[in-house]
Structure 1
Amino acid sequence: MTHKNQKKVSYAVLVGPAVLIYAALIIFPILACFLLSFTQWTGFGIPEFVGLQNYLTMFKDSIFLHGLRNNFLVVLISIFGQIPIGFILAYILYREMVKGKAFFTAMIFFPITISEVVVALLWQQVFSPSGLYIALMRVLKNDPRYVLRIFESKTYAIVPILFVILWMYTGIYLIIFLANLQKINPAIIEAAIIDGASEGQILLRVILPSMVNIVFTTIIFAITGSLAGFSLIFAMTGGGPAHYTEVIAIYMYLNTFRYYKYGYGSSVSMVIVFLGVGLISLLQIIFRKLEDKYE
């Protein structure tokens, strides 16, 4: 056996088990889910092939469409809320614009160390009729009869949840950005300062170009996490009232495990997969153009 063939065999031996595990845990379940999405099945008996009926029914269902809208709002608040805020806070701490770097880092990151269910129950109490938010608003508005009605609105019921999501997950991006900012050679920034660069110029012309790949990675995290998000919202509202705060992961769960529509639930799962792949593919195209611009 030649040296080249020995290397190929070595690579196969090393990579093979990981590929098999990945196929068993990711590829095969997705393929099985895809095939099941074209059937009607209650979990018992033989699945009945129904073609595209599940998908057609899904996109005619107003509850699903509202859940899809809520999901896109979660994606937007993650990409345009968590990531920019996380980066700005990381930059402020990195440039030591405030004292107590370790303290602020720990406080901002702290929410993510708490269980999603605990966070959900905590904020559920805050927004409850006898909770802190209502009590505070009654004092500020000088109205002892003040009642929070945002959950009665189909359009705005998701807003408190978006706030909780922003509060809980921003710390992840703070840590990611701060860790990568600290890898930048300080001599480069010092040289820019000596050349008369302002803080804004340092940020736009030195820091951001070196962070393009990191931003790309964080957006992928935001998209996948937002589309698969379930525990926090389910524990906080269960998708209610009247499905107003429901996202498609909850919609999938209810149809699959409460109503025993395994074929229909599989079709909803595939929509989540297609959305994730589509958004990430679009993101890759955008960032390739950005990389070409900065090269």
Structure 2
Amino acid sequence: MSKERAKKDTLNSALGEQQRSYWLLVLPAVVIYLSVMAFPTIFSVVLSMTNFNGGKVFGGRVPIEFVGLKWYKQLFVDEYFYLALKNNLWIVMVSVFGQIPLGFFLAYVLYRGLVKKTDFFQTMIYLPCVISTVVIGILWKSFFAPYGAFPEIMRLFNPAYEYGLSNHPILPVLFVILWMYTGTYLIIFMANLQKIDSAVIEAARIDGASEVQSLRYIILPALSGVIVTSCILAISGSLKSFDLIYVMTGGGPANRTSVLSVYMFDKAFKGAPRYPLANAISTVMVTISFMLIGLTKWAESKFGGRE
């Protein structure tokens, strides 16, 4: 009995030491997450239900009163909110159904060696991702300006061309977003395509499978998890897009290129500060992001394969 008890005590001591080591390693990350992510998110939701306007620091009222869903009601009757939301959804569509398929197509072409000088093309496609967003915004803003290069190029083909992007000011922004971030998904898909055993693909080709069949029945099911991860990255990045749009258009003209992040910035830092309304906008952004990510996960579980 004494030997069994000693063995049990030794085992309990080892387990206790393992748990202490586990918490010692995990605790810093948990503390950082709670202080940097969880607390600000919860505080933002609480703040969106008050009349806080800066406190003593910004010359506002000191007492903070709970006003419930007042700012959310005001938000959902503002036409500019729906305009910003529509532009954000356009960016999400371009990111999910533009950047990801195009990035995968380019990665597949380079992976299968269907073009020469793959390293050169891979570098050129990824290059916009490492250039400062502010620099890219200034360059493309000059390119699409009424007296910039784009109208001049169009007049080479049609001398009677008149600059008409003012009717659809969001189109240049969508084009730049597509051009700028496709390289990110190219690298993601290239890295994961290289993990697929090439012998499996060659065996399928020997058995008579075409390129399309190999793509459909071998490669795409193997990359289903990567595709879902890419969709989550695209959705989260699209909803928080700010710098490129702020540099290219500033939300203009007449807020027609504004997105939720720019709309939130304007409410918080332009004119009279309306911090609770800005926090309400951020809460809506997080909610929409979770909804779209949940939809993506549902679609993957319903129709996708497994890695």
Q: CA deviation at 1:278?
A: 1.4
For 1:31, give the aligned amino acid. I
Secondary structure of the structure 1 residue equivalent to 2:258: coil
Secondary structure of the structure 2 residue equivalent to 1:26: helix
1:254-292 Cα distance to aligned partner (Å, 9 max, x none): 10111310111000010011111111122112212234x
Tell me if 1:273 matches 2:290. Answer: no
Contact 1:237 1:245 in 2 (8 A): yes
Of 24, 32, 40, the match for 2:51? 40
Corresponding residue for 2:8?
Answer: none
Of 5, 14, 20, the match for 1:3? 14
Q: CA deviation at 1:294?
A: 6.0
Q: CA RMSD in A?
A: 1.3
Corresponding residue for 1:115?
Answer: 132
Q: CA deviation at 1:37?
A: 0.4
Contact 2:222 2:306 in 1 (8 A): no
**2: CA distance, partners of 1:85 / 1:76:** 13
Contact 1:77 1:166 in 2 (8 A): yes
Corresponding residue for 1:128?
Answer: 145
Corresponding residue for 1:26?
Answer: 37
Q: How does 1:152-231 map to 2 (within 5 A)?
A: 153=167, 156-231=168-243
Secondary structure of the structure 1 residue equivalent to 2:163: coil
Tell me if 1:93 matches 2:106. Answer: no
- Give unmatched runs, 5+ long, in structure 2: 1-11, 56-61
Corresponding residue for 1:247?
Answer: 259
Q: CA deviation at 1:7?
A: 1.6
**1: CA distance, partners of 2:63 / 2:269:** 18
Corresponding residue for 1:141?
Answer: 158
The runs of 4+ residues in structure 1 deviating greater than 3 Å are none
Q: CA deviation at 1:166?
A: 0.2
For 1:104, give the aligned amino acid. F
Secondary structure of the structure 2 residue equivalent to 1:215: helix
**2: CA distance, partners of 1:181 / 1:124:** 36
Q: How does 1:69-88 map to 2 (within 5 A)?
A: 69-88=86-105
- Give unmatched runs, 5+ long, in structure 1: none
For 2:102, give the aligned amino acid. I
For 1:216, give the aligned amino acid. V
Corresponding residue for 1:261?
Answer: 274
Secondary structure of the structure 2 residue equivalent to 1:96: coil
Corresponding residue for 2:27?
Answer: 16
Provide the aligned length of Structure 1 versus Structure 2: 289
TM-score, normalised to structure 1, is 0.95
Alignment CA distance shift 1:113-1:255 (3 Å):
same
Rg larger in structure: 2
For 2:45, give the aligned amino acid. F
Of 54, 60, 79, the match for 1:62? 79
Q: CA deviation at 1:40?
A: 2.1
**2: CA distance, partners of 1:99 / 1:139:** 32
Secondary structure of the structure 1 residue equivalent to 2:17: helix
Identity %: 45
TM-score, normalised to structure 2, is 0.91
Contact 1:39 1:264 in 2 (8 A): no
For 2:20, give the aligned amino acid. V
Q: CA deviation at 1:157?
A: 1.8
For 1:70, give the aligned amino acid. N
**2: CA distance, partners of 1:147 / 1:198:** 47
